[in-house]
Amino acid sequence: MTGRPPGWHRPTAYDDLPTALLEELARAGLDPRALHDQVLRALAEDLPGDDLHADATSVATIPAEARDSGVLAAREAGVVAGLGVAALVFHVVLGDAVTVADRVPDGTRVAPGDVVMRVSGPTRGLLTAERTALNYASHLSGVATATSRWVAALEGTRARVLDTRKTLPTFRALQKYAVRCGGGVNHRFGLADRAMVKDNHVVAAGGVGPAYAAVRAAYPHLRVEVEVTDLDELRELLAAGCTEILLDNMDTPTMAEAVRIVAASGRPGVTLEASGGLTLERAREVAETGVDYISVGALTHSVTVFDLGLDLSDLDPADGAGAGAGPGRGA
């Protein structure tokens, strides 16, 4: 990989990205090539046609030869995720002209003011990449931080927090990765890796028992989870041999009774998942019923972005430009 001249304005090809970064993303359970393609689409929202030299404000105000460094820092307490993706964005824009250093591992708990990554390179390129890099890292850190709060609420119980398929289209792998960074557990990734019989399937099949039997007959080796809304349906599924059961919108006493019924059934390996309108304030109460999992769609469908910012040092007056005034605060 060769250095780029100041006027270079095409995004970095996949094969020219740092091998160590691509291997790290793969170990995290992400597809580096698909992520590269996604980053290109994200950059195209700012710069259609892959013209990375078309950042009008930066081109007009910053000399092509100007270089700078800056810090990506937390502005609140939480758990960070997606910093490797942010690093990928800088490399896609700047290739080997950028240096990324002092990046903390995803899943790290941080305090306000903590530096999570440093970048240095051509100033124009840093500012071109800034917002896309922050969008990824702030969003994914928001998912990880929200998950960590549920994990803390469940500490000391047997319950684990699960995500759902209520993810942003095309962001599922990233959001589920962020859930793992926050200490949560992934549920199914799609419709084919596990069968999940919900209320509409039950209606179509004529009951929880027939629905479970139909899935088991069609896919003998596939994991099957079935949603129930009352204890009679729970008993029917236990009799049918179902071992993964979702308790939908049940109050706390009913969930506690469901746990007792499963224990008294003598059936090994049966897991119970609580779901439906659960809040963080109620998390501990639900966990103490003895359920195995609590699924929370809000981890991914109602994300509050984590406050990260990128601040550059002052530009060198010899470059003919003024001071960089904290671009992380801008649009």
Q: How far apart are CA 145 and CA 111, in angstroms?
A: 12
The helix (H) or strand (E) run that includes residue 286 is helix 283-287
CB-hemisphere CA count at 13 Å for 44? 9
Catalytic residue among 68, 248, 273, 292: 248
Catalytic residue among 4, 103, 124, 131: 131
**227 given a catalytic annotation:** yes
- The candidate with the shortest Cα–Cα distance to 237, out of 271, 203, 286, is 271
Catalytic residue among 198, 223, 260, 329: 198
Catalytic residue among 33, 109, 165, 166: 166
The helix (H) or strand (E) run that includes residue 299 is helix 298-301
Q: How far apart are CA 67 and CA 126, in angstroms?
A: 9
**198 given a catalytic annotation:** yes
Three-state secondary structure along 62-113? Answer: CCCCCEEEEEEEECCCEECCCHHHHHHHHHHHHHHHCEEECCCCCCCEECCC
The gap between the terminal CA atoms of the chain, to the nearest Å, is 32
**131 given a catalytic annotation:** yes
Token pair belonging to 281: 């304030």
63-93: b (≥16 Cβ within 10 Å) or e: beebbbebbbbbbeebbbbbbbbbbbbbbbb
Token pair belonging to 321: 């430009």
Instruction: Locate all alpha helices (DSSP H) within 30-122, ordered by sequence.
Output: 32-46, 56-61, 83-94
Q: How far apart are CA 128 and CA 62, in angstroms?
A: 12
The helix (H) or strand (E) run that includes residue 180 is helix 172-181
How many residues in total does the chain contain? 331
Q: How far apart are CA 22 and CA 306, in angstroms?
A: 25
The helix (H) or strand (E) run that includes residue 257 is helix 252-265
Token pair belonging to 298: 């809000």
Catalytic residue among 225, 227, 233, 236: 227
Catalytic residue IDs: 131, 166, 198, 227, 248
